[in-house]
Amino acid sequence: MNHSSFKLRSLLLGVLILAVFCMFSLRLMNMQVVDGASYAQEAKVRASVVQTLQAARGEMVDRYGRPLVVNESCFDIVFDKTAMIKGQDNEIILKMFDLFQEAGESWIDNLPISQTQPFAFVEGADSSVSRLKKFLELQEYATVADVMLSLVERYELEEYPPAVQRLVAGVRYEMEQRGYSINLPYTFASNVSKELVTTISERSDELPGVRENESTTRNYVSGDIAPWIIGLIGPIYQEEYQQLKETGEYQLNDWIGKFGIERAYESELRGKNGQRRIEILNGMVEDVVDEVEPTPGHTIALTIDKNLQAVVQQALADHVKNLNETAEPYLGKEAEGATAVVLDVKTGDILAAANYPSYNLQTYNQDYASLSQDPLSPLMNRAFNGAYTPGSIYKPGMAVTALAEGVLEDRYSTVPCNHVYTYYQDYQPRCLGYHGNINVMDAIKNSCNIFFYDVGRRLGVEAINRYSTMMGFGQPVNLELATQSGQLASPELSASHGREWVPGDVLQASIGQSETMATPLQLASYVATIANKGVRMQPHIIKSIHSYSFEEIISQTQPSVVCDMGVDEEVFEIVTEGMERMASFWFADYPIRVATKTGTPQTYGEFTNSTFISFAPADDPQIAVAVVVEKGGGEVCTPIVRRIYDFYFGLGQTDSSGAEEQLLLQ
């Protein structure tokens, strides 16, 4: 190759390189100078993250404004994916374990597998185990070993010992369940001590993506007061989220009401979340802007009297324990559950609704496994959903029906009681006594079966059920919380069970036996209707709804009449006199006139329940009470009712129901 040719080629190559360099220089200058601002802004937009600002959940108070559920400020420790280094999740989690264990604090772990070996599914957590298997796409029959193997593979935990695998898997599983992402930080632990928060903050360099978050925690002030009514909140599960996400108001890491008022009034309590925008430049947070401030939820005032509720709950517990310790076999010694409802006769306000055995909302999650397996069913709201045969407490309603229909002409009308009812040849039920010619008032006082057999036969089941329906039996209560409707014995009900209705059935229905069943709430409403001279008020548990700060009343529940029986007031005066005569057995020395009726319905073979209805004062009724003691053996529930009246009317050592309170709600 001659020297001139090489020189020419070198020159051409140099020109080409220079041209390419100039082209890129011009392009770079155009990007940096001409369009620089535009590209910089575009970069910021692409690194913009929107996060939700949680609204404070509405609180709950009793009828006098005394707190039942409040929010308390706390610190949470959260994982923020915008700052966490990819692939270091397990390492960060292990470091957090060390810090939390050293501080003696716990973190969120809902994996339904024991934390100690040999691993086992948590007892009583069947639904959570099923959810876990479904998430891992395993068959329902998969063993705990199968589940652990799947978790280890999913979260790349092969290098760790089994105990550590279980702990890390618990956090990683919960992170996925809560929808952990750039937009959704994950709460690793709630209500963390300030000391631990400080420690984590000081070590932030080695914990990228871990930060504190000032939050609120739900404090169930008196967790054992009316837990079935108040309810509880919990995390949203995947299957729930599939329905909730359509509303656009929930995210996977939100909490939601699970039962009770927390669930029934979720829309009122929830509030409206706000929105925060985080601008990130080169992986660093450049700016944080709160674009929409959160709006707190509404505060709900219940109709219950917190102090009265506590008295009723304790009275039930004491009565059952006393029966267990002192009663004779089959006469109350085997008593198990108990329930009571107290109503305001004039308004329908539920002043107390108690159950025994009970539980505490503060420890509900820790205790759930044992509570759910307890044969006495402490989780059941007996007051609203327990269906019981009323027994003889049904007789005052029968008396109302007989007087209203003219089967009994007046208070002096009598029926002969000779211990055996002989109207039918093939069915001759008995009475507990020999009462001779007995009138309606003494029939109530002495609970004469034959008196009510006879008036029931003459009335017929259609008339009986027509009046019982007006008094609330077998009818939906339409309470703010779910309730049972109960049932009334009838030919139709018997036919639905494949049984023929016979004449003797109406006799048993007349004394509150047969297939008639009612909830304690219905029984309280029934006796309140008698006290109210035939006017049945709508029971309710919500007194009013307020803005979070109580500055505004959103709504108030007004008393409403469900049914006016249209029966002469004298009928109820006669029945009330009979109930007062019965009360004289136990309230003879009481400073307030009391009306009562007892029952001993047979429901457990050799065992009987104890039922009791009452209202006071008999001459100007204010409150009505219904009590049921399961396997109470016919032992009268007077001690329970007396303690209720002592408290409510300020007759005992306890304060009255709010007279000395500085009332927040009027």
Of 301 and 181, the one with more pLDDT: 301
Q: What is the pLDDT of residues 328-350, one digit of tens each?
A: 998 999 999 999 999 999 999 99
Compute the distance between CA of residue 512 and CA of residue 468 in angstroms, rounded to an integer: 11
Average pLDDT over residues 382-392: 97
Residue, of 25 and 453, whose pLDDT is higher: 453
The C-alpha angle with vertex 517 and arms to 515 and 519, in degrees rounded to 5, equals: 170
Distance, CA of 387 to CA of 515 (rounded, Å): 11
- Under 8 Å between Cβ of 51 and 290: no
Predicted confidence (pLDDT) per residue in 299-338, tens digit: 999 999 999 999 999 999 999 999 999 999 989 999 999 9
Mean pLDDT value across residues 131-159: 95
Beta bridge pairs of residue 420:
430
Domains of the chain: 46-75+214-302 (3.90.1310.10), 85-202 (no CATH), 306-648 (3.40.710.10)
Express each pLDDT in 508-567 by its tens digit: 999 999 999 999 999 999 999 999 999 999 999 999 999 998 899 999 999 999 999 999
pLDDT tier at 664 (50, 70, 90 boundaries)? very low
- Mean pLDDT, rounded, for 94-110: 94
Distance, C-alpha 167 to centroid of its chain: 31
pLDDT: which is higher, 37 or 293: 293
Q: What is the pLDDT of the chain when averaged over all its residues?
A: 89
Closest CA to 175 of 97, 96, 253: 253
- Tens of pLDDT, residues 611-623: 999 999 999 999 9
Please give the span between the terminal C-alpha atoms of the chain, in angstroms, as a whole number.
110
E runs forming strands in 153-240: 186-189, 210-220, 232-235
pLDDT at residue 191 greater than cutoff 50: yes
Closest CA relative to residue 528, chosen from 592, 589, 587, 477 = 477
Cis peptide before 357 (omega within 30 of 0): yes
Structure tokens at 163: 């105990």
Express as a percent the part of the chain with pLDDT over 90. 71
Q: Is residue 490 within 8 Å of residue 498, measured between CB atoms? A: no
pLDDT in tens, 615-652: 999 999 999 999 999 999 877 899 999 999 999 999 96
Q: Is the pLDDT of residue 46 over 70?
A: no
Q: What pLDDT score was predicted for residue 49?
A: 67
